[in-house]
Amino acid sequence: MTDPDRWARSAVHYAAGGGDVDGLGALLAEGSDPGAADAEGRTPLHFAAQAPTPPSGRLLPWLAETRG
Asked if residue 19 lies in contact with residue 48, where contact means CB atoms within 8 angstroms, the answer is yes
Give residue-wise pLDDT tens across range 17-55: 888 888 988 998 899 998 899 999 999 888 888 877 655
What global pTM score does this model have? 0.79
Domain residue ranges of the chain, discontinuous segments joined by +: 11-66
CATH entry, 11-66, from 3.40.50.300, 1.25.40.20, 3.30.70.141, 2.60.40.10:
1.25.40.20
- Spell out the residues 6+ positions from residue 14 whose beta carbon is closer than 8 angstroms to its own: 47
Give residue-wise pLDDT tens across range 2-25: 789 999 999 999 998 888 888 988
CA 59 from chain center: how many Å? 9
pLDDT of amino acid 8: 96
